[in-house]
């Protein structure tokens, strides 16, 4: 436990965060890419065809992990935003801002693939039901965080205001998750449960889970890489950044 606490405090320091996470990037990248390729192959070519939805079910191996990631990334942003507001942590601000465009891409991917999946199943590309609408609101929240940050010349002030937007927007996550239970909707109920009975055989669930792990690892790579660049920009007048630049020039 003491090691975890020590690591937490170390990662709160921009120069230490930059140094430690630099060693993680190649591992996160290759692990994420290989798992995503494995998950796609398993879902598209190994998993059996659904007896009702037939081949159209295969798009779920992109749609479901993307939808999970859209909420997971926003949760990370909300926690980072809270830390940025309470403790003024520069690293938390960087994680928040770096996550927003990645989360927006996953949310857009979830919406597009959901429409492609919904057309043959429901006979319509879009329906303003609770799950679809709340997911669309999530995309607007991502855009709102990015727009708020870019509206300020001072990046730290922009990050703090964006953090407030991110924290307020957390209320949308339980709405997305429980929407199929709270309202009458054409969207199917949750298929996967952490503690309850699963409503999908392992041969079909396996691809979702592999993709879920792969996308999270790739997100880890992407957000750390972007956060490191943001810290270099916001800390460009500090001694540690000058040393980093000098070292990289020597290694080039």
Asked whether residue 128 is domain-assigned, the answer is yes
CA dihedral over 113, 62, 31, 142, signed as positive or negative: positive
Asked whether residue 155 is domain-assigned, the answer is yes
- For residue range 37-47, list pLDDT tens digits in order: 999 999 999 99
- What is the rounded (10 degree) CA torsion for 35, 37, 39, 43? -170
Report the C-alpha gap between 155 and 93 in whole angstroms.
Answer: 9
What pLDDT score does 200 carry? 82
Asked whether residue 136 is domain-assigned, the answer is yes
Cα angle at 224 between 172 and 220, to 5 degrees?
60
Asked whether residue 122 is domain-assigned, the answer is yes
Q: Is 186 exposed, middle or buried (0-12, 13-18, 19+ CB in 10 A)?
A: middle
Tokens 């460009």 correspond to: 236
Per the structure, the complete domain to which residue 226 belongs is given by 57-191+199-234
The structure tokens listed for 88 are 């003024």
What proportion of the chain, given as a percentage, has pLDDT over 90?
69
> Do the Cβ atoms of 120 and 190 come closer than 8 Å?
no
100-126 as b/e: b if 16+ CB within 10 A: bebbbbbbbbbbebbbebbeeeeeeee
Report the C-alpha gap between 33 and 29 in whole angstroms.
Answer: 6
What pLDDT score does 38 carry? 98
What is the distance between the terminal CA atoms of the chain, rounded to a whole angstrom? 39
The structure's pTM equals 0.93
Nearest to 206 by CA among 40, 33, 51: 40
The structure tokens listed for 85 are 């507001």
From residue 221, alpha-carbon distances to 23, 26, 214, 215, 243 in Å are 11, 8, 11, 10, 23
What is the average per-residue pLDDT within 222-250?
92
The structure tokens listed for 18 are 């930059």
Number of domains in the chain: 1
Asked whether residue 4 is domain-assigned, the answer is no
Asked whether residue 124 is domain-assigned, the answer is yes
What pLDDT score does 16 carry? 93
Nearest to 166 by CA among 47, 52, 78, 239: 78
- For residue range 97-143, list pLDDT tens digits in order: 999 999 999 999 999 999 998 888 777 888 888 889 999 999 999 99
Residue 54 per-residue DSSP state: B
Asked whether residue 22 is domain-assigned, the answer is no
- For residue range 130-156, list pLDDT tens digits in order: 889 999 999 999 999 999 999 999 999
218-236 as b/e: b if 16+ CB within 10 A: bbbbbbbbbbbebbbebbe
- For residue range 182-215, list pLDDT tens digits in order: 766 666 666 666 555 566 888 889 999 999 999 9
Asked whether residue 161 is domain-assigned, the answer is yes
């Amino acid at each position: 436990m003491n090691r975890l606490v020590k690591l937490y405090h170390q990662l709160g320091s921009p120069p230490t965060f930059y140094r430690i996470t630099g060693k993680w990037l190649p591992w996160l990248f290759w692990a994420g890419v290989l798992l995503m390729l494995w998950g796609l192959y398993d879902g598209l070519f190994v998993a059996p065809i659904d007896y009702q939805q037939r081949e159209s079910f295969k798009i779920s191996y992109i749609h479901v992990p993307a939808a999970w990631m859209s909420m997971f990334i926003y949760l990370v942003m909300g926690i980072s935003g809270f830390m940025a507001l309470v403790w003024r942590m520069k690293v938390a601000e960087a994680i928040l801002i770096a996550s927003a465009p990645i989360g927006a891409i996953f949310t857009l991917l979830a919406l597009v693939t959901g429409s492609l999946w919904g057309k043959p199943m429901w006979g319509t590309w879009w329906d303003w039901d609770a799950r679809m609408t709340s997911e669309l609101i999530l995309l607007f929240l991502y855009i709102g965080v990015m727009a708020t940050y870019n509206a300020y010349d001072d990046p730290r002030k922009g990050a703090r205001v964006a953090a407030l937007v991110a924290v307020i927007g957390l209320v949308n996550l339980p709405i997305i998750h429980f929407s199929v239970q709270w309202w009458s909707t054409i969207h199917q109920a949750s298929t996967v449960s952490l503690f309850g009975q699963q409503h999908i055989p392992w041969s079909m669930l396996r691809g979702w889970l592999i993709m879920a792990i792969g996308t999270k690892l790739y997100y880890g790579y992407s957000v750390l890489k972007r956060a490191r660049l943001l810290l270099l920009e916001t800390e460009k007048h500090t001694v540690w950044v000058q040393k980093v630049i000098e070292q990289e020039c020597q290694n080039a």
